[in-house]
């Protein structure tokens, strides 16, 4: 699999510095509103008012609401990747990453769930382009997990028989399902148990 790319990248490169800042403010505002009300519950006028921009500015940067939603998905994925350690190439790194994510959920009272998972659940059946954007977002999120496992395997620490692509997917699924259960139960326990189980399973593939 090649490195997944972001849908909104080409347009972004052509902007001036001021243009990029305005675009960024719109995306951040839209992301914040959508994380509370969903994409369907967030109108262009809502975003205009909250970001202090005109409708024509929004349409200039994003074309339409679909374009803005795709940019929000990219933005939320960037945020997730920024929280991730650059190298998830040891069991300890994976466990520490899982713990910190659990701590962040506790700090929020386990409210809100995963911004990307929530958009995925809301929009996957509503819009084919957005679904493709969400698939790219999950690929980008999964990529460093798989790369970390690949490094462990290249160093001879992880068994050659381990299917690292499948294990990376299992980690991401545990994150998504675990966050949803933690959100509903208002306790990070489900998240921690779900991700730990998969990390334990990865650990069983270590070459002793």
Positive/negative CA dihedral, 157, 190, 122, 79: negative
Of 30 and 39, the one with the shorter C-beta distance to a second copy is 39
Of 68 and 73, the one with the shorter C-beta distance to a second copy is 73
Q: What proportions of the chain, in percent to the nearest 5, are helix, strand and coil?
A: 75, 0, 25
Rounded Cα–Cα distance for residues 36 and 108 (Å): 13
Note the residues at the interface with a second copy (CB under 8 A): 36, 38, 40-41, 111-113, 117-118, 120-122, 124-125, 131, 134-135, 138, 163, 166-167, 169-170, 172-178, 180-181, 183-186, 189-191, 193-194, 196-198, 200-201, 204
- Shortest distance, position 113 Cβ to a second copy, whole Å: 6
Rounded Cα–Cα distance for residues 73 and 82 (Å): 14
At 189 the three-state DSSP class reads helix
On the CB side of 20, CA atoms within 13 Å amount to: 9
- Shortest distance, position 55 Cβ to a second copy, whole Å: 24
Of 21 and 186, the one with the shorter C-beta distance to a second copy is 186
- Shortest distance, position 58 Cβ to a second copy, whole Å: 23
On the CB side of 170, CA atoms within 13 Å amount to: 16
- Shortest distance, position 57 Cβ to a second copy, whole Å: 28
Of 74 and 122, the one with the shorter C-beta distance to a second copy is 122
Of 56 and 204, the one with the shorter C-beta distance to a second copy is 204
């Amino acid at each position: 699999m090649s490195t997944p790319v972001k849908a909104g990248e080409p347009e972004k490169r052509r902007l001036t510095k001021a243009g990029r800042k305005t675009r960024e403010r719109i995306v951040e505002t839209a992301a914040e509103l959508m994380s509370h009300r969903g994409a369907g519950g967030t109108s262009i006028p809502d975003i205009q008012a909250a970001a202090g921009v005109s409708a024509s500015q929004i349409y200039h940067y994003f074309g339409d609401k679909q374009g803005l939603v795709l940019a929000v998905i990219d933005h939320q994925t960037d945020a997730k990747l920024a929280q991730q350690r650059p190298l998830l190439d040891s069991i300890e790194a994976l466990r520490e990453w899982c713990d910190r994510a659990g701590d962040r959920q506790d700090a929020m009272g386990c409210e809100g769930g995963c911004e990307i998972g929530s958009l995925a659940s809301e929009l996957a059946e509503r819009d084919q382009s957005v679904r493709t954007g969400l698939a790219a977002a999950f690929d980008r999120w999964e990529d460093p997990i798989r790369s970390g496992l690949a490094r462990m395997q290249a160093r001879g620490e992880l068994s050659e028989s381990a299917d690292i692509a499948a294990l990376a997917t299992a980690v991401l699924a545990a994150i998504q399902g675990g966050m949803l259960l933690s959100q509903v139960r208002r306790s990070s326990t489900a998240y921690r148990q779900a991700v730990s189980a998969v990390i334990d399973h990865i650990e069983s593939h270590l070459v002793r």
